């Protein structure tokens, strides 16, 4: 796929930065002429991915969250959220609804939510090395208004 535009962003894994990440991706993605529903889907998925980094990758320290956002063809947005935190022991189990390592106050629905709002979600992780979540969203073409 041909990359048409891209951006990179990195920030400390503080909960205050989750909204910043969501807004930054929304501003970049707006060049795709998304509907409000599509934009909301992207923002929700980004929130979940970033929150996973904050809560699970760096539970006892502040680390760095790395994001890469690309427009890979005229209708496809790709978002990668990556950390160098503790990693995931069992990715398949972590993707199961209601599974969490974050304690009683966590729902265990992060990956499920990402998968429901995005067209494709890939997770690569290695314990002690970190995790990369890559999500893709295909944007519907609009017919010109006459």
CB atoms within 10 A of CB 6: 12
List the one residue out of 69, 52, 23 whose CA is nearest residue 125.
52
Helix, strand, or coil (residue 55):
helix
Would you call 48 a catalytic residue per the annotation?
Answer: yes
Backbone angles phi, psi at 77, to 5 degrees: -105, 130
Would you call 120 a catalytic residue per the annotation?
Answer: no
Catalytic residue among 48, 70, 78, 86: 48
Cβ contacts of residue 92 below 8 Å, gap of 6+? none
Catalytic residue among 95, 106, 124, 136: 106
Copy the structure tokens of residue 26.
Answer: 């929304």
Would you call 146 a catalytic residue per the annotation?
Answer: no
- Which H or E run contains 50? helix 36-52
Measure the CA–CA gap between 57 and 65, rounded to whole angstroms. Answer: 9
Q: Which residues are catalytic?
A: 48, 52, 106
């Amino acid at each position: 796929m041909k990359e048409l535009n891209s951006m990179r962003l990195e920030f400390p894994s503080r909960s205050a930065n989750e909204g910043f990440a969501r807004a930054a991706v929304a501003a970049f993605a707006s060049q795709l002429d998304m509907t409000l529903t599509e934009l909301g889907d992207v923002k929700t998925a980004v929130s979940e991915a970033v929150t996973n980094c904050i809560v699970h990758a760096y539970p006892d320290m502040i680390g760095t969250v790395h994001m890469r956002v690309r427009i890979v063809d005229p209708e496809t947005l790709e978002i990668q959220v990556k950390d160098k935190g503790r990693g995931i022991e069992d990715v398949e189990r972590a993707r199961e609804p209601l599974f969490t390592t974050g304690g009683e106050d966590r729902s265990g629905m992060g990956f499920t939510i990402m998968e429901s709002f995005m067209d494709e979600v890939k997770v690569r992780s290695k314990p002690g090395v970190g995790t990369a979540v890559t999500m893709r969203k295909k944007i519907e073409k609009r017919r010109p208004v006459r």
